[in-house]
Amino acid sequence: MSADTTTITTPLRDRALRLRALVSDGVLVLPNAWDAGSAAVIASAGAGAIATTSGGVSWSLGRGDGQQLGREEMVEAARRIVAAVDLPVSVDAEGGYGPKPSDVADTVRALIGAGAAGVNLEDSMAVGGPLFPVAEQAARLRAAREAAAEAGLPELVVNARTDVFLFGLGGLDDVLVRAQAYAEAGADGLFVPGLLDLDALARLCAASPLPVNAMAMAGGPSVAELAATGVRRISVGTGLAQHAYTAAHRAAAELLGAGTLKELDGALGFGELDALYRR
């Protein structure tokens, strides 16, 4: 079912344009959210936009990552996140919830209906690979671009993720072939998780026809170091969700073991958190 173009509001169009401007005007740093509560907390920390993490969203709903959620579940999660903040939201749509271009188009229309200003679409057929052949993935991205226009939001930001480095399925030349094809298909950015070698990132940024998005991680290069390579968008994937769940595990283990609550020292106050949700 196509989104009714009359539902594409000026605020949504403005958020999509703002998301575009945040990349074109500088380096966009995105601490990824996994539910409405985390999105509101991230917004309160000063984020300019929100990106979701499919892994974090899946965990919050009791499922594993890797398209173990269906389209409808992910769309409803996105809808709650969009409603929790006044920022552009880019949704991790995994592989588009189906292999065909029409599947991707359905996903894009549904996410626009939920208020997404951007989508992230990967080229993996499954966790660990293989990847969709270049021409097939280009067709899927083209379907996303066309679906956005047909739904009344041609400004939607389509971030094309390639898992060449994440799953060790090739090198820089392979990424550049995909970057060219994805750009011609209408993608707005290129996300290359797993690539944190600064020299290689600099070469990619210099040669790519699309702005490059890198995934930062603990122990890896800093935001400043990544930005110096020419990267225009930096996200952290499941990093914040992992940290939050680790904090909960440690506090619970302390309470159940020693019977103390030192792990809760320095936590945000009840009133501070509660105020974020009184919209």
**109 pLDDT tier (thresholds 50, 70, 90):** very high
- Give the span between the Cα atoms of 251 and 137, in whole angstroms: 44
Which amino acid, one-letter code, is at 250?
A: R
Instruction: Give percent above pLDDT 90 in the chain.
Output: 95
What are 54's two structure tokens?
Answer: 């499919």
At 248-269, the pLDDT tens digits run: 999 999 999 999 999 999 999 9
Answer yes or no: are the C-beta atoms of 69 and 63 closer than 8 Å. yes
CATH number of the domain at 8-238, please?
Answer: 3.20.20.60
- Give the span between the Cα atoms of 88 and 102, in whole angstroms: 25
Q: Give me the half-sphere count of Cα atoms (radius 13 Å) on the Cβ side of residue 245.
A: 13
The mean pLDDT value for 76-102 works out to 98
At 145-199, the pLDDT tens digits run: 999 999 999 999 999 999 999 999 999 999 999 999 999 999 999 999 999 999 9
What are the residue ranges spanned by the domains of the chain?
8-238
3-state secondary structure of 212: strand
What does the angle CA 76 – CA 77 – CA 78 come to, to the nearest 5 degrees? 90
Element (H, E) at 186: none
What are 201's two structure tokens?
Answer: 């990132």
At 30-55, the pLDDT tens digits run: 999 999 999 999 999 999 999 999 99
Residue 114's nearest CA partner among 75, 67, 68 is: 75
